[in-house]
Structure 1
Amino acid sequence: MESAVENIVIVGAGIAGLATSLALHRLGVRSLVLEYSDSLRVSGFALTTWTNAWKALDALGVGDILRHQHIQLKQNVTTSLSMGQQTSSLCLMAPGKHGDYEVRCVRRQLMIEALAKELPSGTIRFSSKVVAIQDSGFFKILHLADGTTIKTKVLIGCDGINSMVAKWLGFREASFSGRFVIRGDIKLMNNHGLQHNFMHFFGKGFRFGILPCDDKTVYWFFTWTPTIEDTSPIRVQYMCSTRTHHLRGVCEPHRHLTYVEEKELVNNPEKMKQLVLNKFEKMPSDVKCFIEKTQAEDILTSPLRYRRHWELVLGNISKGNVCVVGDAFHPMAPDLGQGACCSLEDGIVLGRYLAQAFSRTKHAKEIEEKGEIEEQYKKIEASLRKYARDRRWRNIDISVTSFVLGLFLQGDLKLVAYVRDKVLPHFLAELLLKKSDFDCGKLNTSDEVGMI
């Protein structure tokens, strides 16, 4: 059977894939998004959406849609549970280099739906799982689980942390950081009564955050490094593949840990909820009640993984007519809250460069008839190299900073805890704002591109 031919195929209909497709659409370039599930994947509860993400959402034309559905956060308030006192308060609405700061906790489902609704009908093809990638001259042939094939001029991997496209480019499996995150979401019948603040709490070896999405929805998260005691009666075994120094509460970058019974840990929301509550002897009762009221089906636990930093420096973000975006490119620790934000940036930058390879004056049939496929391939390759060049160091900066920050925020060594609680709280809060003070730019429609 002859393969269907597409100009651009995006694998994955998550935030990165939809943002990339919408960026291309705004610039008059069609794409096909392949999604393995039978509908949009809207799990994941909420995302801290910082200033840089709002710049990207505005460029995509969905910023105001989401603003009207979510409240703006006014302050970042940090409290040390070991000291029993507030240690920092920082305004989240101050002016930055790229305009006033803007921080909101956005429900993931609403962001996914807002992006998808702006795409032309038929852009997303569901139940389309890619199982193999094959070279074919200046094209890539994608083999799907249902036996069909698709031939494409450009392949963009937005297929998440276990990306097949990233593996094809030579990236290794994302590394386990040694930490887990528990996320919870609660939607109340009445107003929750919380102030419009991002509240951070730090304790012995853990970090907790709670923030309102709107007047009735509250999102919370808890990150920690499990111990045998924490996960009992779940038996957790550690295997270390390299020689390491063991520092309680700190997971060094070179240490490779495997949780033999990781899935069992992840699939016990009730036990995870109780674990969080057991940690919070000094937690204010008005905050603790939100955890208590969260239903088991609204709690998710997952390991925190990251791309080894040397891979981000040396790896192939693009190769020929293939590239990666979002978590397929830079899975990272959530300590800056920038994973999804950087994915949106990626989509804007890639869309802007890639659109330049598709000219309004030459449609696909004309290119084939005139034997200019090789010329267009070179333009595509150059566009993807520019994207890789622009995004590599921005994402390295965010990823490395997030990783190092996580060591400080969760370390329970006395010296680390002292520095975190007494010396660095305001600096750390400012760092969150500083890394979000970035503008990936608008989608420039003045280029000679058309709907092809």
Structure 2
Amino acid sequence: MQQGEAAEDIVIVGAGLAGLATALGLHRKGVRSLVLESSPALRASGFAFTAWKNAFRALDALGVGDKIRRQHPQVQALRVMSSSTGEVAQELDLKVQGKQGPNEIRCVRRDFLLRALEEELPTGTIRYSSKVVLIEEDSDVKILHLVDGSILRAKVLIGCDGINSLVAKWLGLATPSYSGRMAARGLAHYPDGHGLEPKSLQFIGHGFRSGMRPCNETDIYWFFTWTPSENNKCVNENATKMRQFVLTSLRGLKVPAEALAVIERTPMSDVVAVPLRFRPPLSLITASISKGNVCVAGDALHPMTPDLAQGGCSALEDAIILARCLGKAVLDEGARGGAENKRIEAGLREYAEIRRWRSVQLIATAYMVGFIQQSNNVIVSFLRDKFLSGLLARRLLKMADYNCGTLWS
């Protein structure tokens, strides 16, 4: 090791949900890791996400599930409405039993969850303002060059660095594709309480998909997805234009006034718009999710459109399975035999095979659901409003009925 270089056993790139949850899972098993985060502090882009019961299984495994439950009430029902007719296309009782037990759905503020994970990690686990700009190899060691000129040598490298992942690029994963759609998201604040029931409301059709759900007694998360055209392709230049575009698109349709009021109340600083991208699902069938002592998790592995509300949930699934496989490889010499680096490679391969088909399913299903729900085609709209809405809503529950296991089994 040259002067000015440092060495770490396990380096995780990215302090998002996947990165922090993986680090905490390893910590629970007694394995130390270092998380590199390019930002100077925790980032909470997206404001909130829907945490289904598969996410809470993972959070319970990490020991933070009850803390998050106390901050976020359970969503009791999902109501899907046609924006053309104003009729309820489908309403699901979200308290019903699934194959893996009772359903559980909460709209979780992302910053609350990131802080909850951070608080459980040992001091010094996260190194902020540490952006990786280059990855090189030296035998079994990965050499990480940081933007500040410092160098880290890592025995194990885990990419949790999002949709533009440098680690995924190093592994040779397919570049995420643009879906042709955009999404705006916002968070409305009601200091004195919003008074809404804990229900998820969703509007479909007319070329867009929109919805809102309470996070707690004072915050309501909303989203709006659409297909850009020549007339609206520049609306995401600033938050003011974006919010006005959403309101203009919804006014005049069969959308309840309370939904418009939520968007109107949202501070301009709390409105963001992003292109929706996904990794081509077929590309993951033979892709190198892991290679030697390197792997990826979260959006670095399976970026998907938000139509299943499973992006954050699946990242937490990844973290539990990865921490279990890697922790076993590091700690249990008798379990696999041979040198540690061989056990680590085998552990990461096991993780990759467990997550491969699940990732393909999630990406493909999310894309299909979004296409049907947002479509403005007359035939698709008729079939959706009359027959398919119930099927799609039940599909959401089925995809959430997944058990990632614990950190030990």
Q: TM-score range by the shorter chain?
A: over 0.9
Distance 1:338 1:197 in 2: 18
SS in 2 for 1:301: strand
Distance 1:291 1:37 in 2: 28
Distance 2:109 2:144 in 1: 32
SS in 1 for 2:382: helix
Superposition pairs of residues 306-325 of structure 1, within 5 angstroms: 306-325=278-297
SS in 1 for 2:71: coil
- Tell me the CA shift for residue 190 of structure 1: 1.4
Q: What residue in structure 2 maps to residue 352 of structure 1?
A: 324
Superposition pairs of residues 255-334 of structure 1, within 5 angstroms: 265-280=235-250, 281=252, 282-334=254-306
- Superimposed CA distance per residue, residues 91-125 of structure 1 (whole angstroms, 9 cap, x where no aligned partner): 11111111100000000000100111100011001
- Tell me the CA shift for residue 2 of structure 1: 5.0
Identity percentage of aligned residues:
50
Q: What residue in structure 2 maps to residue 172 of structure 1?
A: 174
Show structure 2 runs of 5+ residues with no match.
none
- Tell me the CA shift for residue 28 of structure 1: 0.6
Please tell me the root mean square deviation across aligned C-alpha atoms, in Å.
1.5
Q: What residue in structure 2 maps to residue 409 of structure 1?
A: 373
- Tell me the CA shift for residue 295 of structure 1: 1.7
Q: What residue in structure 1 maps to residue 214 of structure 2?
A: 212
- Tell me the CA shift for residue 84 of structure 1: 2.1
- Tell me the CA shift for residue 359 of structure 1: 2.6
Q: Which runs of 4+ in 1 moved over 4 A?
A: none
Distance 1:177 1:228 in 2: 17
SS in 1 for 2:245: helix
One-letter amino acid of the counterpart of residue 236, structure 2: V
Are 1:33 and 2:5 counterparts? Answer: no
The number of residues matched between the two structures is 403
Under a length normalisation based on structure 2, what TM-score does the superposition of the two structures give? 0.96
One-letter amino acid of the counterpart of residue 428, structure 1: L
Q: What residue in structure 2 maps to residue 68 of structure 1?
A: 70
Superposition pairs of residues 99-110 of structure 1, within 5 angstroms: 99-110=101-112
One-letter amino acid of the counterpart of residue 278, structure 1: T
SS in 1 for 2:7: strand
Q: What residue in structure 2 maps to residue 47 of structure 1?
A: 49
| Aligned counterpart for 1:159 among listed residues 116, 141, 161 | 161
- Tell me the CA shift for residue 311 of structure 1: 1.6
- Tell me the CA shift for residue 286 of structure 1: 1.9
- Superimposed CA distance per residue, residues 106-155 of structure 1 (whole angstroms, 9 cap, x where no aligned partner): 00000100111100011001111111111111111111111111111100
Distance 2:61 2:164 in 1: 28
Q: What residue in structure 1 maps to residue 16 of structure 2?
A: 14
Under a length normalisation based on structure 1, what TM-score does the superposition of the two structures give? 0.87
Distance 1:407 1:13 in 2: 31
Greater CA drift, 419-428 or 328-337: 419-428
Q: What residue in structure 1 maps to residue 405 of structure 2?
A: 441
Q: What residue in structure 2 maps to residue 428 of structure 1?
A: 392
- Tell me the CA shift for residue 171 of structure 1: 1.6
Distance verdict in 2 for CA 1:229–1:267, change over 3 Å = closer
Larger Rg computed on CA atoms: 1
Q: What residue in structure 2 maps to residue 339 of structure 1?
A: 311
Distance 2:61 2:256 in 1: 40
Q: What residue in structure 2 maps to residue 386 of structure 1?
A: 350
